[in-house]
A and B are shown apart, each in its own frame.
Chain A
Amino acid sequence: MKTLTILVTLYTCPAQAEQERTSGPAGETTLQRLEREISSVIEKVRPSVVKVSAAVPVEPDKTPEWLTLSGVIYSREGHIVTDASGVESAGEIKVTSGSRVFKAQHVGSDRRTGVAVLRVAAGDLKPAPFAPEACKTGSAAIAVGNAFGGSPGGSFGTVGGVRCTIVVSGRRYDDMIQMTAPVQPGDCGGYVADSSGRFIGLVHSVYAPDPAGGDLAEKFGKAARDLLATGARNVSFATPSDWVRFSADRIIKHGRMVRGWAGLSARPLDEAARAQLGLPEGEGAEVVRVDREGPAARARLAPRDVLLTFDGQPVRDLDDLQWKVARVEQPRNVRITYLRNRERHEADLRVEIDPQR
């Protein structure tokens, strides 16, 4: 009997420990479980988050000042993805991973997505696991970064919206994730994780009330507000993982950002206009803006034209069209059809390589 008791105890103890590890101890409240799971995601993500220090020239012949932001390990070969605006003017860049500090090389940046790739000579890095699907509104967003230049910490929120267009320092960014996870100065370039700790976005910027003046950061060539404590409204933005992967892969492949460029902005037609033009449901996009020196202007496209087909395919999904153009690696001609004053026109649009202005 005694032997049986010992055997039962030996059998049940590890099973109970495993159950506590996975689903928590009995009697744990929902809030306690949530707290435990958020902490566990942050702990899991932390090894893939690095601190990026960039020496930014302030004035000629003066010692540069150091900006600190965050970065995410992208590959075992030492590639780090971070925010382009924080490192693009840096003369020297350092990456801190745990207690190790590496000198980093700036491989390239994509100004359209705000993604920069750095490279460090380190072999045993833990790359971020990318989420297989794009995140959805309402899903968890856990932001992990080096707030105020400290060690990686985290905050919890949800995805408030996807495919947002924002303007930062006069530069436009499409397809951004809007989230409620509070981010602080220094979190820029940090890791946004889903509830399983997989990478869904790169911390980009914050929406905040205009803080009181100050000329501190003008010397950095950035707006003063970029360096002041912000985040009161808890509306922050991140570059989605699919664009991060696209930009990083292109930069690594070519040593600089290479993506297609048509030089126009378009938006979906509203139902009333579509009905008036007699177009099928969901088809057509209105040209809103044409870059004066871009390919669309050379193809004589103009605002208010309605794009009907692109490369032989009906224009239905602008997100899809944006991807099609971006994937172009060599300049090439594309046949387009469009409506102007209800008349149908055809043209050759030469998709070029984005000059990254």
Chain B
Amino acid sequence: MGCEDIRDLLALYAGGETHENERIAVEAHVGLCAACARELDQYREMRATLGSLREGDVPTGIWKGIWQGVRESLFPRRASRALGWFDAVLRHAAVLMVGVAIGVGAYYVQRDFGGAPSAKAPLPATNTEGTVLVSNPSGLAGGLATDASTFRLELIPPTRPFVPQARPEGNAYLPRVESVQVDGDKDF
């Protein structure tokens, strides 16, 4: 796979959503390609940062939507000068996609908690200790409930601090022999 193909998979790999064969391809590639490895590190860093703002794993499929959009925003493809306006449109579209993806994520979070978002529900309140209280009108407990009426989503430190993947300084070099000649010729 080339860099473009691998970059399409980097966001999914960072979110742990790749298939086994894709995972192997990504790991082999980033071990040799400094540019893709840097990009992957940035995805991981952002994932770790965002991971500290909520508890539990993100529902399956969310990362795919979010990071596909984020990638276009952070690492825009090269555009010709004549189509500079088109690049700007793409950037806005990427930002819009991120918004949509976050919205979809919020929807799934709400659905998993057992209730549809209510127009009359009070806004989340943040207390001085940094906990967020979320209303739960249906009264269903869900996995994170501490009582029947509220969820306590706490700002917790990441359980595992982000450690960049150890990798060599550059691309380790070793040429491959194309053919071995056994006819005894000498070139001089």
Q: Using CB atoms and an 8 Å cutoff, list the residues of chain A in contact with chain B.
A: 53, 65-69, 83, 85-86, 112, 146-150, 164-170, 172, 174, 178, 183-188, 204-208, 214-217, 220, 222-223, 225-231, 237, 260-262, 264-268, 288-289, 318-319, 321-322, 325-326
Contact = CB atoms under 8 A, between A and B. Distances in A.
Interface stretch (B67-75, B113-121, B128-136, B167-175): B167-175
B89 interface: no
A128 to B, nearest CB: 20
Interface stretch (B45-53, B97-105, B157-165, B180-188): B180-188
A146 B33 CA distance: 18
22 contacts: A65-B171, A68-B170, A69-B172, A69-B174, A148-B172, A149-B168, A149-B170, A165-B185, A166-B181, A169-B175, A184-B174, A185-B174, A188-B173, A205-B175, A216-B2, A216-B33, A226-B173, A227-B171, A264-B187, A266-B188, A267-B184, A322-B187
B38 to A, nearest CB: 11
Given A66-B170, A149-B169, A267-B186, A214 B176 contact: no
B170 A67 contact: yes
Contact of A184 (B1, B35, B172, B175): B172
Contacts of B20: none
B170 A170 contact: no
A67 B172 CA distance: 6
Contacts, number: 160
Given A229-B28, A322-B186, A168 B171 contact: no
Nearest to A229: B28
* Chain A interface helix/strand/loop/mixed: mixed
A186 B175 CA distance: 10
Given A68-B169, A229-B28, A223 B176 contact: yes
Contact of B188 (A53, A67, A185, A262): A262
Contacts of B35: 65
B176 A65 contact: no
Contact of A68 (B173, B183, B187): B173
Contact of B169 (A53, A85, A227): A53
B186 A186 contact: no
A150 B167 CA distance: 9
A170 B33 contact: no
Interface of B: 1-3, 28-29, 32-35, 168-188
Given A165-B180, A266-B186, A214 B168 contact: no
Given A166-B177, A318-B186, A68 B168 contact: yes
A271 to B, nearest CB: 13
Given A165-B185, A205-B174, 9 more contacts: A67-B173, A68-B170, A69-B172, A83-B173, A168-B177, A223-B175, A225-B176, A267-B184, A318-B186
A85 B34 contact: no
A215 B7 CA distance: 14
Contact of B176 (A168, A267, A319): A168
A68 B174 contact: no
A217 B180 CA distance: 23
A11 B24 CA distance: 61
A24 B171 CA distance: 40
A208 to B, nearest CB: 6
A104 B145 CA distance: 63
Contacts of A208: 176-177
B176 A167 contact: no
Contact of B186 (A148, A170, A319): A319
B2 A215 contact: yes
Contact of B168 (A150, A187, A206): A150
B188 to A, nearest CB: 4
Nearest to A266: B186
Nearest to B166: A150
- Most chain A C-beta atoms within 10 Å of own C-beta, residue among B2, B185, B186: B186
A214 B1 contact: yes
B169 A265 contact: no
A206 B177 contact: yes
Contacts of B170: 53, 65-68, 149
B9 to A, nearest CB: 14
B52 to A, nearest CB: 32
Given A65-B34, A186-B172, A214-B2, A265 B187 contact: yes
A202 B32 CA distance: 24
Given A261-B188, A322-B188, A149 B177 contact: no
A167 B185 contact: no
A266 B187 CA distance: 7
B87 to A, nearest CB: 19
A137 to B, nearest CB: 14
Contacts of B29: 214, 216
